[in-house]
A and B are shown apart, each in its own frame.
Chain A
């Protein structure tokens, strides 16, 4: 295997599955005709055919086959595009996975704007919202390959229904092999005192860029990356908001219901401060480049920096 950060996220997903299968033969890779898109065909399908099953284009069946496998002690990772892995099979996940407490790991690939050229029908901006509204469901979004691998290792060892977003292409390195993952724990990327910036998954790299811009402008950013959207690190969010007095959130999701909402729920009860939620303002996706969508919905790195500046200025 080449250096992890030189690989596509999906390749690391597949290779990590291979490692997990080799450590525990109960781990299974379940796909619904998007195994090539998820990176598991041929990486997993050829190396561990007995731990691989492709159910065809039948996501509802995939989730419940996963639930049946889980009742028999298997640890299925069921992957498909995030739009299908969440909204299309919401009832199957609710009843056969979360309510029944079956140990199924649901992997929503190509989340948010990373869906790219498939456009509005496939661009899912609500998976974090709807999955976190489900009892007994953990919701994760890793930012890079190292965190992905740490997260999957954690997931495979726990009996916990879980939804994880998976970016597919190669992304820039944020962490290294020393990164650990704990549900309900945020990762502080930079320590600061003027404004809190909270992000998750793919958007954390842009939050970091914005933080660097702001640092050059003399604004000190407390940057929290939340790979675990549910459970959320309430303690870290509250402590940071108390310190800085204002918060910006960033996600590649509808601003209704996702990370920003989770932060607002916590802060409105424990530490009411001004919060600006950045993401997609209650609109559908479309076929467009990342920069076009950042400009249109105003949640690219420059907009993040601007929003932070505005909140800092409002405090004065």
Chain B
């Protein structure tokens, strides 16, 4: 299955796509020997929804001025973005297994300089939402009607700069900005409510002047509805809190702190992770 064969939404087909992406992400990270798998697997449905149902894009023209912009501030989840971009035809599938290889074009953290379709370089947490604000402000000043989407992590939300950006976005009435929190409830050192609790997260964003929607981050309709509603908001930015499961689809790491970054030193480890995928009947596209 390639992207081009999907023309309209179909639950069964999207479920197959999600299974395939999770398998490919895990294979890429295992081949690389290590990687940030948990937060990539938690975002599969978010990326599939964005790329197949929400974003106005032209994969043949990644810098098309009228495209919607996407920033993933939690840059370490780049493998899910790379898979989405490859499936949409931004670059060849055979780039995917080069993740983190010497001289790769697909580094561990999303990099605008090397990857067609990546609109901003990220990796140092907390900066992407501010960059998204700059891009949204530029669109406002230019009276352009494209939108800016920005994915942030829940652990990343600990960074104070997010809240500087939150104040700025609402003050500037950036209703062309839609942010998504990957709320998988885990950060590197443990569960978010044990390390630095975020709740009531919805109230916080509302208090900062944002329109807030909550979605099941693994449910196609729930996500799509949230994007539809956020797109209709006028006069303020929107936040979609996507409730997700870190490491979803890989049973040996799902919803565990260890899912943040796995080490895959040998074939046995590879077999352990790839064998734990919810669907192993997958043909790799490279």
Contacts and interface: CB of A to CB of B under 8 A. Distances in A.
A71 B131 contact: yes
A61 B161 contact: yes
B57 to A, nearest CB: 16
Contacts of A65: 130-131, 133-134, 137, 165, 168
A71 B164 contact: no
Contacts of A100: 112-113, 120-121
Contacts of B164: 55-56, 58, 60-61
Interface stretch (A89-97, A200-208, A233-241): A89-97
Contact of B134 (A56, A60, A71, A91): A71
Nearest to A94: B124
Q: Which of B112, B126, B131, B165 has the most CB of A within 10 A?
A: B131
B58 to A, nearest CB: 17
Nearest to A68: B134
Contacts of B8: none
B167 to A, nearest CB: 7
A176 interface: no
A50 to B, nearest CB: 6
A92 B171 CA distance: 22
B41 interface: no
A79 interface: no
A64 B131 contact: yes
A101 B165 CA distance: 21
Interface string A67-86: 11111111010000000000
B161 A69 contact: no
A95 B168 CA distance: 21
B121 A99 contact: yes
Interface in A29-67: 50-51, 53, 55-56, 58, 60-61, 63-67
User: Chain B's interface: helix, strand, loop or mixed, by majority?
Assistant: helix
B133 A68 contact: yes
Nearest to B73: A64
Nearest to A55: B168
A55 B169 CA distance: 10
B138 interface: yes
Given A61-B161, A65-B168, A71-B112, A95 B134 contact: no
Contacts of B113: 100-101
B45 to A, nearest CB: 26
A72 B130 contact: no
Given A50-B141, A71-B120, A95-B123, A64 B161 contact: yes
Contacts of B142: 72
Contacts of B119: 71
B93 interface: no
B112 A72 contact: no
Contact of B133 (A50, A51, A61, A101): A61
Contacts of A94: 124
B73 to A, nearest CB: 10
Contact of A96 (B131, B137, B139): B131
Contacts of A51: 141
Contacts of A76: 134
B121 A68 contact: no
Contacts of A74: 134, 138
A159 B276 CA distance: 48
B131 A72 contact: no
A136 to B, nearest CB: 11
Given A61-B164, A99-B121, A69 B130 contact: no
Contact of B135 (A58, A63, A68, A99): A68
Given A66-B134, A101-B113, 11 more contacts: A51-B141, A53-B172, A55-B168, A60-B160, A64-B165, A68-B120, A71-B134, A72-B139, A92-B124, A96-B120, A100-B120
Interface of A: 50-51, 53, 55-56, 58, 60-61, 63-74, 76, 91-92, 94-96, 99-101
Interface of B: 112-113, 119-124, 126-128, 130-139, 141-142, 160-161, 164-165, 167-168, 171-172
Q: Which 8 A-B pairs have the closest CB atoms?
A: A68-B134, A64-B130, A72-B138, A58-B164, A61-B164, A100-B121, A68-B131, A65-B134
18 contacts: A50-B141, A56-B168, A58-B164, A58-B168, A60-B160, A61-B165, A64-B127, A64-B131, A65-B134, A67-B127, A68-B120, A68-B137, A69-B138, A92-B124, A94-B124, A95-B122, A96-B120, A96-B124
